[in-house]
């Protein structure tokens, strides 16, 4: 059994996928081919924003927004303590200071009330200038943007939606990657919409930001010409082959895959919710199920469950075993164990089960039965 079965996905999409890749190889437009422009147009239309700017990976997408906003030393950028390292890394990379915020245990996402408290505290201390918030759509579920946007508006901060795991989710009829002042996503192969390598994108309705991003992804080039560089940038383009792959996958994602992962999550819920804490999606929210993550009672129970499932040939993953504020790279910020109790507790107790659009109901029954058997043995 695969944790996220990209092999099965390829077999289902093989005729279209092979044709799309072969077309790029035959035309030899490996950089900046028509498929890139086509993909950007389709992604912007799907999300419901004016501009989509593709780039080399999801981390570059976050960094490019930080650059566009002029985030720098002396600035405070607020980010969840329970997330992947890149969400905070890009803040420090620009010389700014990540200020961590605890999350809601029920959704794994940034707690808007704790965010308000953190911003107020930094304002009162006066050592850093609050500039922006990076909210993360963890495990496929959008963060609580109605509340987070209100907090940002109250304090006059920019809001970046890190939708690396959230593409396809929504709140009401508004889709993930359309919230805040800008949004990003990742096309890493295991993401809800993934390519066959690295890739990423930024979404925005702001014309000036979009122009800046298109420039810096190609060495700060001018719109007037290739060798007229008007600013310092870098090289972060989405290859044409990856765009071709994503065009095929986007069609399947919209047609069947997004609905399929939600059906899979529903079956998991029905079979496990009376035995263990299963993920909760609030009313009005819709997840793209990048992960299906359980909350166990303790780290020892998690260890037992993972060992038992491995013996049955069932893969599991822990996202994430260490919170941001306790990462060695951020030791100089002075955070201590106990500062963010919800994030710390989740890191000790969460475990993710196999989840992808091509899980058969029999696969889910097999995994669920094994989970129940393991917990009954403990």
Final residue belonging to a domain, choices 246, 280, 296: 246
pLDDT at 315 over 90: yes
The verdict on residue 151 lying in a domain is yes
Is there a single domain that holds both residue 342 and residue 308?
yes
The verdict on residue 270 lying in a domain is yes
What Å distances lie between residue 152 and 94, 116, 167, CA to CA?
21, 8, 22
> Residue 378: what pLDDT?
64
Cβ neighbourhood burial of 117 (10 Å; 0-12, 13-18, 19+): middle
The verdict on residue 238 lying in a domain is yes
Report the candidate in 64, 103, 102 with the shortest Cα–Cα distance to residue 86: 64
Is there a single domain that holds both residue 275 and residue 175?
no
Is there a single domain that holds both residue 50 and residue 135?
yes
The verdict on residue 1 lying in a domain is no
> Residue 377: what pLDDT?
83
pLDDT tens-place string over residues 35-79: 999 999 999 999 999 999 999 999 999 999 999 999 999 999 999
Is there a single domain that holds both residue 182 and residue 270?
no
Final residue belonging to a domain, choices 221, 246, 271: 246
Is there a single domain that holds both residue 45 and residue 156?
yes
The CATH number covering residue 350 comes to 3.90.1150.10
Q: Global pTM? A: 0.97
The CATH number covering residue 41 comes to 3.40.640.10
> Residue 223: what pLDDT?
83
| Mean pLDDT (whole number) for 292-298 | 98
Is there a single domain that holds both residue 56 and residue 127?
yes
Is there a single domain that holds both residue 224 and residue 269?
no
The verdict on residue 35 lying in a domain is yes
The verdict on residue 120 lying in a domain is yes
> Residue 259: what pLDDT?
98
Q: What is the CA radius of gyration of the chain?
A: 21
pLDDT at 245 over 90: yes
Is there a single domain that holds both residue 215 and residue 290?
no
Number of domains composing the chain: 2
Q: What is the mean pLDDT of the chain?
A: 97
Q: How confident is the model at residue 342 (pLDDT cuts 50, 70, 90)?
A: very high
Is there a single domain that holds both residue 190 and residue 265?
no
Backbone phi, then psi, for 337, in 5-degree steps?
-60, 135
The verdict on residue 105 lying in a domain is no
pLDDT tens-place string over residues 210-224: 999 999 999 999 987
Final residue belonging to a domain, choices 190, 220, 246: 246
- What percentage of the chain has pLDDT greater than the value 70? 100
**CB–CB of 217/238 below 8 Å?**
no
Is there a single domain that holds both residue 72 and residue 191?
yes
Is there a single domain that holds both residue 42 and residue 90?
yes
Provide the domain limits for residue 269: 255-377
pLDDT tens-place string over residues 146-164: 999 999 999 999 999 999 9
Beta bridge partners of 167: none
pLDDT tens-place string over residues 193-214: 999 999 999 999 999 999 999 9
| Mean pLDDT (whole number) for 226-241 | 93
Is there a single domain that holds both residue 170 and residue 263?
no
> Residue 59: what pLDDT?
98
The verdict on residue 71 lying in a domain is yes
């Amino acid at each position: 059994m695969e944790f996220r079965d990209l092999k099965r996905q390829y077999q289902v999409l093989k005729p279209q996928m092979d044709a799309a890749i072969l077309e790029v190889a035959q035309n030899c437009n490996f950089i900046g081919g028509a498929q890139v422009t086509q993909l950007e147009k389709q992604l912007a239309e799907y999300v419901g924003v004016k501009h989509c700017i593709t780039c080399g990976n999801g981390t570059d997408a976050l960094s490019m927004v930080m650059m566009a906003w002029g985030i720098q030393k002396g600035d405070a950028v607020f980010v969840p303590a329970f997330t992947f390292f890149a969400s905070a890394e890009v803040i420090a990379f620009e010389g700014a200071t990540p200020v961590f915020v605890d999350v809601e245990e029920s959704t794994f996402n940034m707690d808007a009330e704790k965010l308000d408290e953190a911003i107020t505290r930094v304002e009162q201390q006066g050592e850093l200038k609050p500039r922006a918030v990076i909210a993360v759509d963890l495990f496929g579920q959008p963060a609580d943007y109605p509340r987070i946007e209100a907090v940002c508006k109250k304090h006059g901060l920019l809001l970046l939606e890190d939708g690396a795991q959230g593409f396809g989710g929504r709140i009401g009829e508004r889709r993930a990657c359309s919230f805040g002042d800008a949004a990003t996503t990742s096309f890493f192969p295991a993401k809800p919409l993934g390519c066959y390598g690295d890739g990423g994108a930024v979404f925005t309705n702001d014309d000036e930001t979009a122009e800046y991003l298109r420039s810096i992804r190609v060495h700060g080039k001018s719109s007037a010409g290739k060798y007229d560089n008007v600013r310092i940038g870098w090289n972060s383009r989405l290859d044409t082959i990856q765009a071709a792959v994503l065009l095929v996958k986007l069609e399947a994602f919209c047609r069947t895959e997004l609905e399929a992962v939600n059906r899979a999550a529903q079956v998991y819920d029905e079979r496990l919710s009376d035995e263990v804490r299963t993920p909760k999606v609030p009313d009005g929210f819709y997840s793209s199920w990048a992960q299906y993550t359980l909350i166990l009672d303790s780290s020892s129970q998690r260890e037992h469950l993972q060992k038992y499932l491995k013996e049955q040939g069932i893969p599991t993953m822990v996202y994430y075993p260490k919170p941001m504020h306790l990462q060695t790279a951020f030791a100089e910020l002075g955070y201590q164990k106990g500062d963010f109790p919800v994030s710390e507790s989740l890191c000790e107790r969460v475990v993710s089960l196999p989840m992808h659009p091509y899980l058969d109901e029999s696969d889910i029954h097999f995994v669920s039965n094994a989970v129940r058997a393991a917990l009954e043995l403990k």
